[in-house]
Amino acid sequence: MSVRFNGKLDSYETLLRLEERLGLGLFIWNIDTDELQWSDGMFALFGLKPGSVQPSRGLALSMTHPDDRLSTGWIRHEVREGRLLDRDFRVVLHDGRVRHISQHGWLAGGDGNNAQLAGVCIDVTALIEARTQSELIQSRFKELINAASCVVWMAPPDTDGFQANKLMSAERLDLQGDWLDRVVADDKAALLADWSRSAADQKPFKFLHRMMEPDGRPRWYRSYAAPLRDRDTSIIEWIGVTIDVHDLIAGTQESPQITGAQIRAGRGILNWSVRDLANATSLTIGVVRRLEEFDGSSAGYNDALSAILRAMEAAGVEFLMLPNGKPAVRPR
């Protein structure tokens, strides 16, 4: 169904307004004679005053970015074969600015030999620059996530359960699917309960928990989330981040100052005697007993404490420093 307008709507004036407002230009290229016709908008795309020069393939080629130039003979051959009707290229203006052009063409010619290429060229510079900026932001975001060893995720606004969809994660985490599936079972119930309270109260969420690594070992993480609201302050979704804090929680210094209480507890987990620990560390029984006498750390015994730490960790004990500053120990 064609649309007819009442009153006068001058075609030429309409074309001028469309070209000016939309940043486009029309052209016709006679493939056989190499004659080229440009509309006023086409001149503007090349940064030229309408009618100031005779448009030609040579002129267009000279103003095309060197990396995008194609010979007239090659273009003529490709167009006759029905290719290169649509293409993107860059124009270098006289002041050095670069303009991105998207061409959309069609074969025309009333005599049936398709001797003409007609088309429209559109200025897509703003779109390309926005896309480039978006890719840069994405790249920065990705590198920041890798540096922080974290997972960025989102969750729906409702409180009927917790479905955290991963948006991006650090490469080393190698997470597949919902990161919540990796939370240690002992921590998941408390995490979900805390999430329900935060979602119901519409307050930021924060929780310390463990997640299973690909090698099957647990590691400490801290999850944060905040509600994303629309203009009416209604919650659209929750945006969250889960950060690897294992080194801060577990305390992985080269010479950690484990305590006598931790050593005693570790022996209990392993069912080791003092002699067993002495044999595993090449320390004397007297040294082991002396270190166990102190509930706190023992100054001046760094090498001995490191030997005990390595032996017990190898046997299946993990030494921790809890967020409240208290030392702890547990089976791996």
Tens-place pLDDT, residues 103-151: 999 988 755 555 889 999 999 999 999 999 999 998 998 888 888 888 8
Residue 254 has pLDDT above 50, yes or no: no
pLDDT band for 324, please (50, 70, 90 cuts): low
Q: Identify whether the C-beta of residue 87 lies closer than 8 Å to the C-beta of residue 103.
A: yes
Residue 52 has pLDDT above 70, yes or no: yes
pLDDT score, position 252: 45
pLDDT band for 2, please (50, 70, 90 cuts): low
Are residue 276 and residue 309 in the same domain, yes or no?
Answer: yes
> How do residues 279-289 score in pLDDT, each as one tens digit?
998 888 888 88
293: domain range? 253-331
Question: Dihedral sign, CA of 265, 266, 272, 273?
Answer: negative
Are residue 22 and residue 101 in the same domain, yes or no?
Answer: yes
Are residue 227 and residue 281 in the same domain, yes or no?
Answer: no
In a domain, 99, yes or no: yes
Are residue 265 and residue 235 in the same domain, yes or no?
Answer: no
Are residue 118 and residue 144 in the same domain, yes or no?
Answer: no
pTM for the model stands at 0.59
Are residue 111 and residue 57 in the same domain, yes or no?
Answer: yes
CA distance 153 to 200: 19
Domain end marker among 193, 227, 249: 249
In a domain, 5, yes or no: no
What is the number of structural domains in the chain?
3
CA distance 29 to 82: 14
Q: Looking at per-residue confidence, does 208 or 301 come out higher?
A: 208
In a domain, 27, yes or no: yes
List residues bridging with 105 in a β-sheet.
119
- Give residue for tokens 């991006």: 168
Q: How many CB atoms lie within 10 A of CB 86?
A: 11
pLDDT score, position 257: 73
Q: Which residues make Cβ contacts (< 8 Å) with residue 114, sequence separation at least 6?
A: 31, 80, 107, 108
Average pLDDT over residues 237-246: 88
Domain end marker among 93, 123, 153: 123
Q: Which residues make Cβ contacts (< 8 Å) with residue 117, sequence separation at least 6?
A: 28, 29, 31, 79, 85, 105, 106, 107, 108
- Supply the mean pLDDT for the chain: 84
In a domain, 184, yes or no: yes
* CATH code of the domain containing 321: 1.10.260.40
Are residue 119 and residue 143 in the same domain, yes or no?
Answer: no
* CATH code of the domain containing 165: 3.30.450.20
Return the CA Rg of the chain. Answer: 35
CA distance 190 to 329: 21
Residue 196 has pLDDT above 90, yes or no: no
In a domain, 193, yes or no: yes
Are residue 141 and residue 233 in the same domain, yes or no?
Answer: yes
Are residue 117 and residue 175 in the same domain, yes or no?
Answer: no
In a domain, 4, yes or no: no
Q: Identify whether the C-beta of residue 280 lies closer than 8 Å to the C-beta of residue 263.
A: no
